[in-house]
Amino acid sequence: MSRFIDIAALEDIPRQGARLVKTALGCIAVFRTADDRVFALEDRCPHKGGPLSEGIVHGTSVTCPLHAWVFDLNTGQAQGADEGAVQTFAVQLTAGRVLLDATRLARRSAA
Amino acid sequence: MKQKLVVIGAGMASGRMLEALFEAGGNFDVTLFNAEPRGNYNRLMLSPVLSGEKTYDQIVTHDAAWYQAHGVDCRFGEPVVKIDRTNRIVTSNTGGVPYDALVIATGSAPFIVPVPGKDLPGVVAYRDLEDTNAMIAASKPGARAVVIGGGLLGLEAAAGMAARGAEVTVIHLMGHLMERQLDPAAGYLLQKDLERRGIRIHCKGATKAILGTDRVEAVLLEDGTVYPADLVCMAVGIRPEVRLANDAHLEVGRGITVDDQMRTSDPAIFALGECVEHDKQLFGLVAPLYDQAKVLAATLLGQQAAFKPVQTATKLKVTGVDLFSAGDFADAPGREDIVFRDPGRGVYKRLILEGDKLIGAVMYGDTADGAWFFDLIKQGKPITDQRDTLIFGPAFQGGAQTDPLAAVAALPPEAEICGCNGVCKGKIVTAIGGGATTLDAVRMATKASASCGTCTGLVEQVMALTLGDRFSANTNPPMCKCTDHTHEDVRRLIKSMGLKSIPAVMQELGWKTVGGCASCRPALNYYLIADWPTEYTDDRQSRFVNERNHGNIQKDGTYSVVPRMWGGVTTPAELRAIADAADRYAVPMVKVTGGQRIDLLGVKKEDLPAIWSDLNAAGMVSGHAYAKGLRTVKTCVGTEFCRFGTQDSTGLGIKLEKLLWGAWTPAKVKLGVSGCPRNCAEATCKDIGVVCVESGYEISVAGAAGMDVRETEFLCKVTTEAEVMEVIAAFTQLYRENARYLHRIYKWVAKVGLDWCRAQVEDPATRRALYDRFMLSQSVYQTDPWAELAAKPADWAPIADLTLRAAE
Ligand code: SRM
Ligand SMILES: Cc1cc2nc3c(=O)[nH]c(=O)nc-3n(C[C@H](O)[C@H](O)[C@H](O)COP(=O)(O)OP(=O)(O)OC[C@H]3O[C@@H](n4cnc5c(N)ncnc54)[C@H](O)[C@@H]3O)c2cc1C
Ligand code: SF4
Ligand code: FES
């Protein structure tokens, strides 16, 4: 079962940018692409913990600001020669509002 | 005794012939006449010169040193007027020269439509550098140009002038563009593409007259349409230049008649190039002319050789338009077509089969497989087995994967890669085996991609296949994987095509990715800021994190805060404000930097707006310690306190910092001002340094003290502070307008040469214009980003806090 929580208006996130959501498990970066798609990924690069929310967003990828690893926003997988992945979270866009799936956050924290 | 060889015409064909002759060790006394006041250059490349992608210097094929090394007596700007066959003397406008052997290589003359007004000033053809320069001069933004002729040349002229901002109309007699090379469907796609670039196309248009009193004003068509014009370019065709041969009573058909050895009807006279007719055929592309050049060189050396014309393929040299045609594609009984269309992507491919053979190919939008099809046409092998998948190209033959290199890997060694120079894949592979591991070396060894350059990509693919991991693309690689253009090309095209947004650059220059990448976006953002300061709006999302957030990101995701401390001078009040801020935001470290100011390290992102606004309140602004922009101006105490000081170095440093701060530059810029040659401000290892002396100020540039350590080089000496400021602002602007992104001043100066930079800033008019452009940009960009962003603290905090909810 998923539980979607209203986070913000789409307009609060800059195009080709991201904003942070604080959770008990750490920060989640909510990205908005140039064509208004939204994605949510854990804000911690598997390389050395760089904040992905501060990376440059291009197409449906983001480049980590610290050492330029590139991640696919769809899957959280590192691209190219680098290996690693970040967790992704389901997001929905309804009537201009961004909703984040908090199921996993709740379950984990309950465990 | 040395044979006296006289050559009339220094064009593409004769240049190649002389090269072949000297390479084979031929011992001739050569006199080379040319009507144009210059030697051999790559005529094909006039189109990139017209569009602004290349300069004339870059297309010269033989320079003065080359002629001198081979003892060529150059008679440039001396048209030959007469050939005296009986006495074996050619006469130019300055006198006569005897010959043992004579080569006529006069090329062709543009055909001028015989309509009223054809001789008005402002009517040009498209053949040489003069024509090109006339079009460049006339294509100011907003100027109107009409091109008569929608063939290869006409369209290259139109695209070039349009790239410079002119409003261009093409008038074409036939029903579709380039009808000799394209079928109607491909011609239509081409027309749409050109119209999208703002070029107006009028097909089925017959020119009736060119109107104007003192110079051209308009073009009138038979159907009554009138197009206003400041310039008219006639590109309707060429005619072999045979006047000299006619006057000398050589045998002339449409061109000068030659046999397989390139000999005319007079055994002492030879001819080659566009001026000849061989076996009833004329020539208008360079590939067969280069073959003629080899044959003629051999003939002159007394060797056996015979000229056999080869098939030619055509490509249009307009950046962003991909078009290829080869072979015969006219409709005829017994021929069949295989057609592939993808209107969404603007792709069209048509193969023409006769019996079981491929005889022609026309491709638009995606021409990657052109070489492979061309090879099948030339081989004339039956293709029955491949017919089902033929149109999808070599990647699909035998179910292979779609590997970008597959098309080239599938080519046999005899497949031609470079059409202009007739270089096959095998020859390139052999050259690479022989040690040619860079593109330049391959060009040198084989001439592949050395003429029109459209096959450069293919040559590189052959290199990649042959060298594997050892292949590294040419020394000036594309900006990034999103484009095939180099930084330099992109900078030039942004200006010449008037591109004013990142999406426009990506669209017009054919970016291969959606939205670019983290490497090209910041570069493009910078180029647009530098080139269009008042029109372009900075794109924050294309900035690297440090510039987006106006602080250096630290390894733990916090930031550093460095306020400006003009010229390294501070006050007790400023120091108190810094100390208070450090306390209030629990700053983990306060450090004096190498740039004479104070760094507050480890500030949390959410605290940035507040700490900035506290520092703003004490009169301090951002120090741009994170920027590709002006960093610091380091000073020493100078005449104010020092017993050796010759000028007020501290005061001048502060003035310079106040002049330059806020300017974005290709990479960071640091200055130093020392009060005397003891140089306590280390001015001579900065990007720009000033050393004060009794008689004035010595300005030097291009120093570095980072990964490379270099002393600055002397730029110029001036006597007043005002001049220092003007020279330095002008020099900085020169750097801003010309360097590629991330190149520090020393790297850029190494490329363009200090002499060139000096010539720009020493010329008073150029210096003033650079200074004015710098100040115009400063009027927009010299603002404190901290003040601006501190006003919107909400954007810096998390957008939502789920810590409570998730834990419930
Ligand atoms: C703070 C400072 C060190 C210090 O504590 O003194 C410093 C700190 C950094 N320097 Fe520096 N440099 C500092 C003076 C210098 C100097 C000395 C100078 O300016 O007199 C140099 C050599 C001079 C020169 O630039 O030629 C210097 C040459 C570099 C380089 C090498 C540049 C090069 O072209 O070779 C880098 C790397 C780069 O820019 O790519 C660099 C990069 C960095 C970065 C930005 C690394 C990064 O990308 O995160 C450091 C940021 C630390 C931070 O988090 O704030 N820093 N750096 C100095 C700040 C000066 C200021 O007030 O703005
Ligand atoms: C803008 C442009 C783009 C082109 N693009 C392509 C392309 O992409 N691919 C391709 O294959 N071909 C292209 N061509 C065609 C190609 O340039 C010609 O086929 C080639 O230059 C012909 O070589 P040539 O040596 O016969 O004549 P030219 O290169 O024209 O040289 C002839 C020289 O002889 C000189 N001359 C003439 N009369 C006299 C005289 N009486 N005395 C002394 N000197 C004289 C002329 O001034 C000229 O310099 C292009 C041509 C132009 C103009
Ligand atoms: S030298 Fe500069 S870049 Fe290197 S660790 Fe020190 S501050 Fe960082
Ligand atoms: S921390 Fe992300 S690339 Fe190094």
The full set of domain ranges for chain A reads 4-102
**Cβ contacts of residue B258 below 8 Å, gap of 6+?**
B264, B270, B271, B272, B276, B277, B278
**What's the confidence (pLDDT) of residue B739?**
93
Express each pLDDT in B326-354 by its tens digit. Answer: 888 777 788 888 888 887 777 888 899 99
CATH numeric code, B628-783: 3.30.413.10
Give the position, in ligand 1's atom list, of the atom nearest the Cα of B626. Answer: 45
d(CA B265, CA B259): 9
Instruction: Answer whether B541 sits within 8 Å of A68, measured CB to CB.
Output: no
* Cα dihedral across residues B16, B19, B23, B28: positive or negative: positive
Express each pLDDT in B79-114 by its tens digit. Answer: 999 999 999 999 999 899 999 999 999 999 999 999
Q: Are B398 and B410 in contact (CB under 8 A)?
A: no
**What's the confidence (pLDDT) of residue B697?**
97
- What's the whole-number mean pLDDT along residues B534-550? 95
Nearest listed ligand to the Cα of residue B105: 2
- What's the whole-number mean pLDDT along residues B221-236? 95
pLDDT above 90: residue B423: no
- What's the whole-number mean pLDDT along residues B284-294? 92
**What's the confidence (pLDDT) of residue B469?**
75
Task: Record the pTM.
Answer: 0.57
CA B522 to chain centroid, in Å, comes to 20
Distance from CA of B21 to the nearest CA of A (A): 50
Residue B469: CB atoms within 10 Å? 6
Distance from CA of B690 to the nearest CA of A (A): 35
- What's the whole-number mean pLDDT along residues B384-413? 72
d(CA B50, CA B139): 10
Question: Any chain A CB within 8 A of the CB of B514?
Answer: yes
pLDDT above 50: residue B724: yes
d(CA B542, CA B526): 9
Distance B80 CA to ligand 2 centre (A): 16
Between B309 and B732, residue with greater pLDDT? B732
Asked if this assembly's ipTM is beyond 0.85, the reply is: no
Cross-sheet strand order for the sheet of A4-9: A4-9, A97-101, A91-94
Express each pLDDT in B600-619 by its tens digit. Answer: 999 999 999 999 999 999 99
Express each pLDDT in B633-690 by its tens digit. Answer: 999 999 988 999 999 999 999 999 999 999 999 999 999 999 999 999 999 999 999 9
d(CA B431, CA A16): 46
A85 lines ligand 4 (CB under 6 A): no
**What's the confidence (pLDDT) of residue A107?**
52
Question: Any chain A CB within 8 A of the CB of B512?
Answer: no
pLDDT above 80: residue B398: no
**What's the confidence (pLDDT) of residue B327?**
84
pLDDT > 90: what percent of chain B? 66
pLDDT-based confidence at residue B741 (cuts at 50, 70, 90): very high
Distance from CA of A50 to the nearest CA of B (A): 7
d(CA B466, CA B470): 9
d(CA B688, CA B729): 11
Residue B438: CB atoms within 10 Å? 15
- What's the whole-number mean pLDDT along residues B365-372? 84
Instruction: Answer whether A12 sits within 8 Å of B799, measured CB to CB.
Output: yes
d(CA B641, CA B383): 89
* Cα dihedral across residues B399, B404, B407, B410: positive or negative: negative
d(CA B511, CA B517): 10
Residues of chain A positioned with their CB less than 8 A from the CB of B540: 14, 17
pLDDT above 70: residue B400: no
Residues of chain A positioned with their CB less than 8 A from the CB of B544: 56, 65
Going through B176-261 in order, the beta strands assigned E by DSSP cover 200-202, 207-211, 218-221, 226-228, 231-234, 238-240, 256-258
**What's the confidence (pLDDT) of residue B399?**
45
DSSP string, B646-711: -S-HHHHHHHHHHHHTT-B-SS-EEEEEESSTT-TT-GGGSSEEEEEETTEEEEEE--EESSSEE-
Question: Any chain A CB within 8 A of the CB of B107?
Answer: no
pLDDT above 80: residue A1: no
Distance B534 CA to ligand 3 centre (A): 36
pLDDT-based confidence at residue B807 (cuts at 50, 70, 90): very low
Give CA angle at B351 (B350, B357), nearest 5°: 175
Instruction: Answer whether A20 sits within 8 Å of B799, measured CB to CB.
Output: yes
**Cβ contacts of residue B605 below 8 Å, gap of 6+?**
B549, B557, B558, B559, B796
Instruction: Answer whether A65 sits within 8 Å of B799, measured CB to CB.
Output: no
Q: Which residues pair with B691 in a beta bridge?
A: B674, B698
Distance B549 CA to ligand 3 centre (A): 20
3-state SS, residue B255: coil
d(CA B484, CA B486): 7
**What's the confidence (pLDDT) of residue B403?**
61
CATH class of B112-236: alpha beta
d(CA B53, CA B399): 40
Q: Which of residues 530-559 of B touch A (CB under 8 A)?
A: 540-545, 548-549, 553, 555-557
Q: How many CB pairs under 8 A join A and B?
A: 98
Distance from CA of A86 to the nearest CA of B (A): 17
Residue B482: HSE in the Cβ half-sphere, 13 Å Cα cutoff: 23
H/E segment holding residue B291: helix B286-300
**What's the confidence (pLDDT) of residue B415?**
81
CATH architecture of A4-102: 3-layer Sandwich (2.102)
d(CA B610, CA B623): 16
Question: Any chain A CB within 8 A of the CB of B801?
Answer: yes
Q: Please check whether the two domains, B3-108+240-300 and B112-236, share a CATH topology.
A: yes
- Looking at the partner chain, which of A12, A54, A56 has a beta carbon nearest the beta carbon of B542? A56
Instruction: Answer whether A21 sits within 8 Å of B801, measured CB to CB.
Output: yes
**What's the confidence (pLDDT) of residue B495?**
83
CATH numeric code, B3-108+240-300: 3.50.50.60
| β A4-9/A97-101 pair status | antiparallel
Between A103 and A66, residue with greater pLDDT? A66
pLDDT above 50: residue B806: no
**What's the confidence (pLDDT) of residue A106?**
61
pLDDT-based confidence at residue B475 (cuts at 50, 70, 90): low
pLDDT above 70: residue B805: no
| Ligand 4, pocket-test mutation among A41, A42, A43, A48, most atoms within 8 A of CB | A48
- What's the whole-number mean pLDDT along residues B256-262? 97
pLDDT above 70: residue A80: yes
**What's the confidence (pLDDT) of residue B183?**
80
pLDDT > 70: what percent of chain A? 94
H/E segment holding residue A99: strand A97-101
Q: Which residues pair with B83 in a beta bridge?
A: B90
Pocket of ligand 2 (CB under 6 A): B 8-14, 33-36, 43-44, 46-47, 79-80, 105-107, 126-127, 153, 156, 241, 244, 273-274, 284-287, 289, 317, 420, 452
Among protein residues, the one with the nearest Cα to ligand 4's atom 3 is: A67
pLDDT-based confidence at residue A75 (cuts at 50, 70, 90): very high
Region class of B249: left (phi > 0), else alpha (psi between -120 and 50), else beta:
left
* Cα dihedral across residues A72, A75, A81, A84: positive or negative: positive
**What's the confidence (pLDDT) of residue B455?**
78
Domain-wise residue ranges, chain B: 3-108+240-300, 112-236, 487-543, 628-783
In whole numbers, what is the pLDDT of chain B averaged over residues? 91
Instruction: Answer whether A14 sits within 8 Å of B540, measured CB to CB.
Output: yes
CA B465 to chain centroid, in Å, comes to 26
pLDDT above 80: residue B320: no
3-state SS, residue B129: helix
Task: List the one residue out of B508, B535, B512, B495 whose CA is nearest residue B457.
Answer: B512
pLDDT above 50: residue B808: no
**What's the confidence (pLDDT) of residue A25?**
85
**What's the confidence (pLDDT) of residue A109?**
45
Instruction: Answer whether B802 sits within 8 Å of A19, measured CB to CB.
Output: no
- Looking at the partner chain, which of A16, A70, A100 has a beta carbon nearest the beta carbon of B541? A16
pLDDT above 80: residue B779: yes
pLDDT-based confidence at residue B583 (cuts at 50, 70, 90): very high
Q: Which residues pair with B713 in a beta bridge?
A: B701
Residues of chain A positioned with their CB less than 8 A from the CB of B521: 56, 58
